[in-house]
Amino acid sequence: MTRTQIVRLALLAGGVGLLAGVASAAMLWLMQGVSSLVWSVSESRWYILAVAVTGGALIGIMRQFGATDSVDEQLAALRDPIYIHHRKALLVGLTAIVAVAFGGAVGPEAGLLAVVAELTAAIAVFLGRSHADARIIGEAGAAGALSGFYGSPLGGAAYADDKPAAPRAMLLLAGLCGLLGFLVAARLLLSGGFHRIALPPYSPPGDGSDLVLAIVPALLGAAVGVLFLFALPAMKHLVQHCVPKAFWQPVIGGVVFGLVAAALPILRFSGHHEIGSMLEWAATAGMAMLLLLGLLKVLAAVICLSTGWLGGAIFPLIFAGAAAGASVLAIAPGINPVVAIAAGMSAAATAGLGRPVAAVLIMLFVVDGSLFGAICVGALCGYAGSLVAPKPEH
């Protein structure tokens, strides 16, 4: 590859990544705006159920027109953005907005990638690029969008494509530019950074004791992640067998999820902003009940994802892992809660993604870097669990 080609690809990857980061922030702003509008009416249990059923019906209508791509399917489509069906990408984006705004236990990744799909397809067509360049454009867009959303250029690039056509350095550049674009747009559109999880300050003891204490919470977090891996394909098969019509799947999913969320409203949404509320809930219910809460969060995510509520799984798994890890405090109150939470969420995220490097890189930017040891312990336990579970599909 000549120096001119390297410069051209670098400019292309950086520019696409920057635009993808800005587009991701704008899409997230739109999701948050619709969500605020939907939930400004009431927080009562009957309203939670009504919103979930309405959301399921809206998703069912859009599925009639072809809005069915999962996050992994969208990442695959971005490898050749020239052939992306524009109406389908638009429907996927609208479906993801409904799934997030109407309280689904899913992350907003599907909607962000739908916007990036439109963006990269338009860029590839406008520039008249070859299929090889179009794939690089698509991969750069995915890396930029996910890097901005997760706040981790390394993690976003690793998750976007584990076997990229573009050089890794180009994807990292796209990720860095995507994070820059996201942060600039987020400062204008969003109230605070989305990707950080607020945990109390932590100072590692420096003797390795925190690594040992992180093992049990990590094993609990890995367990809920592995449960997710077994439950999701089983639930998808059950839904396809019992409810063959695409329209009724998200409607029934909305009814079931709505009943679960009405009983425990904390199970709504991705779980990214609910870690503090989770600990407040545990102060009343008891720390041991956090394990049950983590299992129920997995159930809520599985219900949504298996019935067509499009979105990502990593933040619901982070919530479930944090709850499961923190539950160990019921029998070992001497463990630092921050260590238990970090180890549990890292383990669950790693198991659910099946990509330990991507999970660790994302977690390092989602929480404070002082928890690196607990994050690595969690990642090792989560990866070990993923080896005995079905391959992740979400």
Residues 6+ apart with CB under 8 A from 207: none
Q: How far apart are the C-alpha atoms of 177 and 140, rounded to whole Å?
A: 10
What's residue 265's pLDDT?
95
* Contact of 387 with 229, CB cutoff 8 Å: no
- Any residues with CB less than 8 A from the CB of 246 and at least 6 apart, and which? 60, 63, 64, 68, 308
The pLDDT value recorded for residue 204 is 84
Question: Domain 209-388 sits in which CATH superfamily?
Answer: Clc chloride channel (1.10.3080.10)
Of the candidates 129, 126, 151, 180, the residue with the CA atom closest to the CA atom of residue 17: 180
Could you tell me where the DSSP H helices lie in 40-85? Answer: 45-63, 71-77
10: which 2 tokens?
């670098």
Name the nearest CA neighbour of 228 among 324, 162, 342, 157.
Answer: 324
Question: 3-class DSSP state for residue 337?
Answer: helix
pTM of whole model > 0.85? Answer: yes
Determine the pLDDT at residue 130: 61
* Residue ranges of the chain that CATH labels 1.10.3080.10: 209-388
d(CA 114, CA 236): 22
**Which residue type does 70 have?**
S
What residue ranges of the chain have pLDDT lower than 70?
1, 5, 66-89, 118, 124-133, 160-166, 191-195, 392-394
